[in-house]
Homo-oligomer: A and B are copies of this chain.
Amino acid sequence: MDRSVQVETGTLVADAVRAAEIDLGLPCGGQGRCGRCTVIVREGEVQRPPNQRLSGEDRAAGYALACQATIEGDATIYVPPQRIERVLETDKTATEVQVPLSYDALRDQPLRKYVVSVSEPSLDDQTDDWSRLKRELARQHDVQELTAELPVLRRLSGALRDGEWTVTVVVEHDRWEEPEGPPRLVDVLPGDHLESLWGVAIDIGTTTNVVWLVDLLSGQVMAQVADYNGQIARGEDVISRIIYASKGDGLADLQRLVRETLNGLIEQAAEQAGTRPGEIYRAVVAGNSTMTHLFVGLPPASIRLMPFVTTINQIPTLRAHDLGLHLCPDAGVDCLPGIASYVGADITPGVLSSGMCYGDKLSLFIDVGTNGEIVLGDCTWLIACACSAGPAFEGAGVLNGMRATRGAIEEVWIDAHTYEPTLRVIGPEGEAPRGLCGSGLIGLMAELFMAGIVDKGGNVNVALDTPRTREGEHGGEYVVVWADESAAGEDIVLTDVDMDNLMRAKAAIYAGFSVLANSVGLSITDVEQVLIGGAFGQYINIEKAIQIGLLPDAPWESFHYMGNTSVRGAYLALLSRESRQQVVNIASMMTYLELSADNTFFDAFSAALFLPHTDESQFPSVVEQMAERGR
């Protein structure tokens, strides 16, 4: 497909491509770092600044980075198909949700519906529509001092007349942020419509957005939908997005992209549940600090710069129409509070739904993603930190890494004698492998180590008697899939450089555990339970994660997979004022430990840069297994 577009001299190739309405992702946000927006200049004048991602050969072959190169005259440019496949296995994100046994909509919900009969106006009683409605709502349902904003007032006159002076009103009472505040009119519908009351719990992940549509009368989740965050095309991690947001209208662009993703999901969820978005009356939103800043259009620049502060950790409750969210326009949109730039409003609801804030067991909560967030504590105290693990476990920074979509190798077993691997690939039977996702990488690392293919330092032993190990362009490498069995027709390998990135990621997380525990005078071995949150977390194989020293060496039964704790926490906060208040309590009782200001972190990190760890006494079960295998 050929497209022509006219641009000014000096235009970035990326902008020209976008002007031609071709969707080209900029995984690093246009910094020229990731090399994944490569295009081929077939002919014409394109200026290509020097970049380490492009070798002399690449340049000679016409390669250019779209985010760096500029158009200087007529040019023909080939845009290769994107590497990122945009198919999310939403089935994998759906989960069984139990409604809390104690849920009672009448007691717990700030939202209520009432049917009101309003007396028709006459020349003897020309009271305005609004005062008339307020009067009857006070009389018939004892709702006093009702307030309303513009969007619902615009529909009032029509609803009263269409309903022949009987209407159903949606009223928000005793909002958590202003418990003594007056009730607020959210919607007015002609006639009698008490049959439903809808709300949504939203989780804005850097990678994946999730929407749960909830029947607030019963508390049941009636639809669960998920999609990639549309912002991925402008950067894969939060840092890339922050950089993109600071350029031109980047912030508005990112806000629009996530809004479009969410509106699509809301539409889809409403359709599944047989309702319409306009009848959704409240949203509770979880997300890390960068995601919430971008969602509401706050510039996120200071999150990235020393000393890493947000504009605001507790965003005031907004209205759907302020944000262009397709709900009832007056629906409250309640962004949960975070506590720091890198311990945001994904972790606070996570702690809520993990339950660690209720019991007296010393618990370690971890949410592994691009950033690993860690919380330690019990019902009386909580301390949290964030470790910049990097995106290695999400497949970035790894030559054949990819996200957990079709074609991703999600599990690996290696025969310790033949060094031959057995794989499990996401997708239908016989799906050809395309790369390695996070769980596959952890499994592969563990198997390579336990089979003696890589040493404690993470280096591939190329001297082994197998064609699977060899010296490659990036140092030693292990061939996981031969070219003729792979989807792309090229070998899928794990290199020393990949291993190095993965080691740093796992070391950062483990060092986080240690420093956090030590900061309160405890040891990692004191932890009684480990709660693993995050969509990625649930695919981690505990055994393998312990083998590589990513997770502490505790008995398996002390580990609990929590799934997407973030959206689940948002769901709980949507259900009841009390749970919503509990998120505030969690945020205010949680101490944040800034690892970059902690002088023990670097030592802990260096100590963890081995398999499983320089201090093997911390991994007795692994030492035992190694001994069994004669290593």
Residues of A within 8 A of B (CB): 121-124, 126-132, 147-150, 153-154, 156-158, 161, 296-299, 301-302, 306-316, 318, 322, 340-341, 592, 594, 596-597
Contact = CB atoms under 8 A, between A and B. Distances in A.
Nearest to A124: B597
A312 B129 contact: yes
B299 A126 contact: no
Contact of A157 (B158, B311, B596): B311
29 contacts: A121-B307, A122-B307, A123-B306, A123-B594, A126-B308, A126-B341, A126-B594, A128-B310, A128-B311, A128-B313, A129-B309, A129-B310, A129-B312, A130-B312, A130-B313, A130-B314, A131-B312, A132-B309, A147-B316, A148-B316, A150-B316, A150-B318, A153-B298, A153-B312, A156-B311, A156-B312, A157-B302, A158-B299, A161-B302
Contact of A298 (B124, B131, B154, B340): B154
Contacts of A308: 123, 126
A309 to B, nearest CB: 5
Contacts of A313: 128, 130-131
A3 B623 CA distance: 88
A306 B123 CA distance: 8
B123 A307 contact: yes
A334 to B, nearest CB: 14
Contacts of A299: 154, 157-158
B316 A126 contact: no
Contacts of A315: 153
Q: Sorted from nearest, which 5 A-B pairs have the closest CB atoms? A: A123-B597, A130-B312, A128-B310, A157-B311, A121-B309
A308 B129 CA distance: 11
A150 B322 contact: yes
Nearest to A126: B309
Contacts of A161: 302
Q: Which of A128, A130, A313 has the most CB of B within 10 A?
A: A128
A144 to B, nearest CB: 15
A126 B157 contact: no
A341 to B, nearest CB: 7
Given A309-B129, A310-B129, A301 B149 contact: no
A125 B179 CA distance: 30
A360 B602 CA distance: 83
Given A153-B298, A154-B298, A299-B157, A126 B312 contact: no
Contacts of A309: 121, 126-129, 132
Nearest to A149: B316
B298 A126 contact: no
Given A307-B123, A311-B130, A301 B594 contact: no
A564 to B, nearest CB: 25
Contacts of A296: 150
Contacts of A316: 147-150
A306 B316 CA distance: 42
A465 to B, nearest CB: 52
A130 B298 CA distance: 12
A126 B297 contact: no
Given A150-B296, A157-B299, A129 B311 contact: yes
A416 B298 CA distance: 75
Contact of A340 (B124, B126, B297): B126
A195 B154 CA distance: 39
Nearest to A177: B147
Contacts of A148: 316
A301 B308 CA distance: 53
A391 to B, nearest CB: 23
Contacts of A126: 307-309, 340-341, 592, 594
A62 B485 CA distance: 81
A145 to B, nearest CB: 11
Nearest to A157: B311
Contacts of A123: 306-308, 594, 596-597
A132 B302 CA distance: 14
A246 B153 CA distance: 16
Nearest to A306: B123
Contacts of A301: 157
A132 B124 CA distance: 56
Nearest to A323: B150
B298 A157 contact: yes
Contacts of A156: 311-312
A415 to B, nearest CB: 49
A315 B152 CA distance: 12
Contacts of A130: 311-314
Contacts of A122: 307
A297 B154 contact: yes
A158 to B, nearest CB: 7
A298 B306 CA distance: 48
A182 to B, nearest CB: 9
A301 to B, nearest CB: 7
